[in-house]
Amino acid sequence: MRYLHTMVRVLDLDASLRFYCEGLGLTEMYRVENDKGRFTLVFLAAPEDVELAKARQAPLVELTFNWDPEAYDGGRNFGHLAYRVDDIYQTCQRLMDMGVTINRPPRDGHMAFVRSPDNISVELLQDGNLPVAEPWASMPNVGAW
């Protein structure tokens, strides 16, 4: 397992970038503009992690800016922790065997979401590709993540 990123939702992308980059000294590594989803993701690395981040080997902070105004009450501005796993199906099955609800099953063989006992969302991302498989492909979402 490898720690990937922590996601934080932001209301003002420019003000947030000023804080994280100018204030804290983080470096913007890359960004994703998603017109269909109406959001921008900006990934930042700590100064000593920049070279590792270029090779996608360092944990990052993901700033998520949703283009449409939204209130982030109930802690929704903190998004999730993300981990890359060797086998997402095995990981999800182990968690289910422990009584953990798979909120967003890995229907695509690539991504799943679960929640910690403290209700923190955890994103699991498959390292490489796995074929779509049952029972995961047919499992519905449960709750929120």
Which residues are marked as active site? 123
Nearest to 2 by CA among 85, 112, 121, 110: 85
Q: Residue 52 gets which letter from DSSP?
A: H
Is residue 62 a contact partner of residue 53, using CB atoms and an 8 Å limit?
no
Q: What is the DSSP string of 60-102?
A: EEEEEEESS-----TTTTEEEEEEEES-HHHHHHHHHHTT--E
11: left (phi over 0), alpha (psi -120 to 50) or beta: alpha
CB atoms under 10 Å from CB of 36, counted, come to: 5
The rounded distance, in Å, linking the Cα atoms of 92 and 100 is 9
